């Protein structure tokens, strides 16, 4: 990751010396400067992640295990406390980078409108959600690991079903952080519904999200699965992009639906998840000795979570390939519903408003 970020940093600086094609000079330079700052922060974040990983290896997990032993809890409860404390500590350790990004970097470039109280309110909401859902999932995995012979197969299916449920209920989860109100524009609503009818997209409604409460960036998305699908428009998008541009952007999103990109992504993630469980089920005892912990369901789950970023590094080219292919195909479909010129103009508006640098290193 760090090597990629360094290459991207150098590439952006080179591109900033060239005359912009898509954006005005001022917007181009600002997008480049924002990208540079994000890359620099990403490098710092990865160095800190490496230090945290080393901390868990050399003393973190063993101290956590000692603490749960000291509490003298029943075995299963001790495993749960171990795993939940691990999740809570990881969340707290990630807080400084998140705080700097939201409260300093994004404010400096005119994006974030988050107050200090709202930032911590969001953090504790997210932490509570992580721990409550994590409690149920981890307890289920512990029971499977302890009582099922080929536990990796059952664990895979449990986590995969959890991923599907997370997508299914995402519209409900999102309501914990934002307000969603029905679109109050009958003409626009009828045009969107007409576009959705063309591709057979059924939704529970078209909603406007109060994104401007936190951020000035533009976006729109389709959330949920099955009958729970809904169209979500950021209020920032409605105020910045005209009706034709908005419809073109939604056409792009409908392209993902038409091409079944979400189902394909779930399939790919399911395959990678199966591989992860196959590997983690055959960890040699040496790994647990390296972390100075006993070979228990809780320590196994913690080690799995620690190694996920390492695993994702090797799968990144595959995921990136499919992601880019999906975006190109969605662009083609979106252009077919409106026009190439309309979609291109709308996407350039989003790039400009979001200060997204239009070039990336071809690695």
Which residue range(s) make up the domain with 60? 2-176+258-353
- Residue 363: pLDDT over 70: no
5 included as an active-site residue:
no
Sequence ranges of the binding site? 252, 256, 327
The pLDDT of residue 39? 93
With respect to residue 188, please indicate whether it lies within any of the assigned structural domains.
Answer: no
Position 266 in a domain: yes
What's residue 198's pLDDT? 86
pTM of the model: 0.87
> What integer pLDDT is reported at residue 77 of this predicted model?
93
pLDDT of residue 243: 86
d(CA 265, CA 314): 17
Active-site residue among 5, 65, 106, 331? 331
**Is residue 228 situated within a structural domain?**
no
231 close to 207: Cβ distance less than 8 angstroms = yes
User: How would you classify residue 127: left for phi > 0, otherwise alpha for psi between -120 and 50, otherwise beta?
Assistant: alpha
pLDDT of residue 148: 93
**CA 73/CA 69 separation, integer angstroms:** 7
Residue 66 lies in a domain: yes
Question: What span, in angstroms and rounded, lies between the C-alpha atoms of 35 and 39?
Answer: 6
- Residue 17 to residues 31, 102, 105, 173, Cα–Cα distance (Å): 13, 29, 23, 44
Binding-site entries for Zn(2+) = 252, 256, 327
How many structural domains compose the chain? Answer: 1
Give the span between the Cα atoms of 107 and 54, in whole angstroms.
Answer: 32
| Cα–Cα distance for residue pair 258/128, rounded to 1 Å | 35
Which one is catalytic: 253, 261, 289, 353?
253
- Is 331 an annotated catalytic residue? yes
pLDDT tens digits along 259-308: 888 888 989 999 999 999 999 998 898 989 888 888 999 999 999 999 88
pLDDT tens string 186-233 = 998 999 888 888 888 888 888 999 999 999 998 888 888 877 788 899
């Amino acid at each position: 990751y760090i090597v990629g970020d360094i290459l991207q940093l150098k590439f952006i600086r080179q591109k900033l010396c060239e005359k912009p094609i898509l954006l005005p000079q001022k917007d181009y330079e600002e997008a480049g400067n924002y990208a540079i700052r994000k890359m620099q922060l990403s490098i710092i974040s990865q160095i800190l992640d490496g230090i945290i990983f080393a901390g868990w290896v050399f003393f973190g997990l063993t101290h956590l295990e000692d603490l749960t032993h000291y509490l003298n809890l029943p075995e299963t409860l001790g495993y749960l406390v171990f795993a939940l404390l691990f999740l809570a500590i990881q969340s707290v350790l990630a807080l400084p980078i998140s705080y700097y990004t939201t409260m300093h970097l994004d404010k400096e470039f005119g994006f974030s409108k988050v107050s200090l109280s709202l930032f911590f309110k969001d953090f504790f909401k997210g932490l509570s959600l992580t721990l409550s859902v994590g409690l149920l999932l981890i307890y289920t995995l512990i029971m499977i690991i302890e009582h099922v012979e080929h536990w990796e197969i059952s664990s895979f299916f449990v986590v995969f079903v959890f991923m599907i449920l997370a997508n299914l209920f995402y519209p409900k989860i999102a309501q914990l952080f934002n307000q969603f109100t029905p679109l109050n524009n009958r003409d626009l609503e009828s045009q969107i519904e007409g576009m959705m009818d063309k591709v057979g997209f059924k939704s529970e409604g078209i909603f406007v999200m109060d994104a401007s409460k936190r951020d000035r960036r533009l976006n729109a998305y389709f959330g949920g699965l099955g009958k729970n699908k809904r169209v979500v428009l950021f209020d920032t998008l409605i105020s910045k992009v005209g009706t034709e541009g908005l419809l073109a952007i939604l056409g792009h999103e409908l392209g993902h639906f038409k091409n079944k990109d979400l189902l394909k992504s779930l399939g790919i993630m399911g395959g990678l998840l199966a591989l992860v469980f196959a590997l983690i089920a055959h960890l040699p005892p040496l790994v647990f000795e390296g972390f100075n912990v006993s070979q228990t369901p809780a320590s196994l789950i913690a080690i799995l979570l620690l190694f996920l970023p390492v695993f994702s590094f090797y799968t990144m080219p595959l995921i990136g390939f499919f992601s880019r292919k999906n975006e190109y195909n969605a662009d083609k479909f979106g252009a077919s519903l409106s026009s190439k010129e309309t979609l291109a103009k709308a996407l350039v508006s989003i790039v400009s408003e979001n200060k997204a640098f239009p070039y990336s290193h071809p690695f």
